[in-house]
Amino acid sequence: MTPVSRPKPVRWIVALLATVLVVVTGVGLAMLATGSRTPAALGPTFLPPDTVAYLESRLDLPGDQRENLVSFMGRFPGFADPAAFDLKVNDTLDRLTREASQDRYTYTGDIKPWFEGEFALGVTEVPEMSSGPDGLGASRESIPPFVGALSVADRAALDAFLARLRADAPGATFTESSHGSATIVTYQPESGPEQAFSYAVTDESLLFALTPEHLVAALEVRSGAQPSLAGSAIFQERIASLPPERLGAVYLTLSVYRTLVEAGSSELDGTTSEILSEALEQLPEAVAGSLRVEDDRMVLDMLVSAGVDTPLSPSRSTSLAARMSSTSAVYSETRDVGEGISKVVEGLVTSLGAPPAQLEQVEAFLGVPVEDFLLWMEDAAVSVAVDGDQLTVGLAATVTDATVAAQRVERLTTAIRAASAFGEVPFSIEEEDIAGSLVTTIAAKSDPSSPLPDDLPFEPSLSYGIHDDIFYLGLGDFVSGAMQRSESDSLAGNADYATALEAAGGATNSGVAYVDLAALRGFMEALIPDEGRAEYDRDVKPYLEAFDRFIMSGTVTEGDMSLRALLYVE
């Protein structure tokens, strides 16, 4: 009889620990707790004030987060009954834990009894990157120093769990050392020191890191002997604007990465190095963010602390959404587009090194340097509207000087007409008056030898024109529709968009991105081939149907940018 091969203990122990980390980081499973608790007690109390990255996950669902999460998840298949919520989540976590431990452990029996629901992880410094022994990946030495913590509800239950893990790893080495009242345990599997890690248990937390030295430092901070990130005035200032009742939070000090990247770019050529250096100078100083759930939406809030050279878009309101169709499935609004395009073109001209003679000819025709040609554009919005199986795509932009804008647009028309004069071209040019403004349309001609497809999802023509100090450019009848549209029949008058915009911060902002997920889903479903329809309707559609719309908006106040993103379900 051939003996059954069983995996080495270290393999499933590592898999089990990985599963625990997946669970506690809340990736898709931030609903494991069975009750609400007060706002965070653990937080970054074990991390030094110069910590460069911090992540927390509040799986204990503080405040209203449990009630809201149950309501949010109730829109998805299998979660309609609130009473069955905990049972379904626990069943899922039990299955994952059993699979990772070869049926030796369960979440509800072995992890839940001691885990209180808070997970925190901090990167205390950023090391220089180096290749592994095979030259293909990062070595252990290149992994940034980190310390993680899990909140403990029952110290005795945790001690029993760790004792079982040690007993189930007979080939591993466990080395113990003391620091104050805590015992630091370093685990080294049979496979070697490259997979070793250390942990320490207190009454409030299970701390873990790659080395015991990192745990010593964390215990010093946790005891109050050394200052903590939680007590840092800068950290408190940046995190204070975020909702305290949340599923999780993140904090990044980006300025420290500048030196790291600059050190690694020493071998780049002069132009590339200069571009990279300029980009690094524009990095924000820090970013803080939080994730929470509010009944029918998931909310991400972020605060970006700008550096000296960080570009920030001004906050203001426009009427551009009132020019777009109410059926716009994708909408994006951006500030100071002309200036942005100018900087990009200037950088391209510099990096590509266009021949001076050719550049002079182009600029002589345009009448201005190439990078200045579109400076008259201020705020711009792009829309993709869905009407059955047809798309209407267009751009609308406010202009800073109507006279200059008209002159530049006329130069474009002249250039197109000049190109068409050199011979037979596959397009026609027409001009017409719409709402008192001149609109130019370039329509594709169908060549009998290679005709255009009959099932194009858009009309093969491009129109542009200026009306009431707004420049329009779009496919099909976008321009004529936008110039004559009433606000009540526009995206601005769409209740779904209007309520989402208000929840994201309001009409005065530094930019907006909006997606009607339900409308896009309907359009994409029409493209599914017949042979895949049944599988999609059975396995995919029931889950996608819950997603309704998404919006993200930003505002700038006193040099900082606040961003809010909302994902709605229905």
pLDDT at residue 32 in the model: 41
Burial level of 471, CB count in 10 A (0-12/13-18/19+)?
buried
Q: Which two tokens stand for residue 494?
A: 């769409």
pLDDT of residue 260: 66
**Facing residues of 81 across strands?**
none
Instruction: Give the β-pairing of 248-253 and 470-475.
Output: unpaired
pLDDT at 149: 95
Side-chain-facing half-sphere of 363: CA atoms under 13 Å: 15
Are the C-beta atoms of residues 285 and 307 closer than 8 Å to each other?
yes
Inter-residue contact 222 to 45 (CB < 8 Å): yes
Token pair belonging to 133:
């022994």
Q: Specify the residue for token string 């406010």.
A: 398
Q: Are 359 and 517 in contact (CB under 8 A)?
A: no
Tell me the C-alpha distance between 414 and 306, whole Å: 43
Residue 556 CB contacts under 8 Å (≥ 6 apart), including other chains: 312, 313, 314, 315, 510, 562
* Structure-token match 């530094």, residue found: 510
Q: What is the pTM of this model?
A: 0.85
CA 525 to chain centre: 25
Q: Check residue 63 and give its pLDDT.
A: 92
Q: Which residues of the chain have pLDDT under 70?
A: 1-41, 127-142, 192, 258-276, 351-355, 422-423, 449
Identify the CA nearest to 15 among candidates 80, 96, 95: 96
Would you give the end-to-end CA distance of the chain in angstroms? 58
pLDDT of residue 26: 37
3-state secondary structure 463-495: EEEEECCEEEEEECCHHHHHHHCCHHHECCCCH
pLDDT at residue number 45: 93
Tokens of 555: 């505002």
Angle between the 255-264 and 270-281 helix axes, to the nearest 10 degrees? Answer: 170
Map residue 306 onto helix, strand or coil.
Answer: coil
Cβ atoms within 10 Å, residue 400: 15
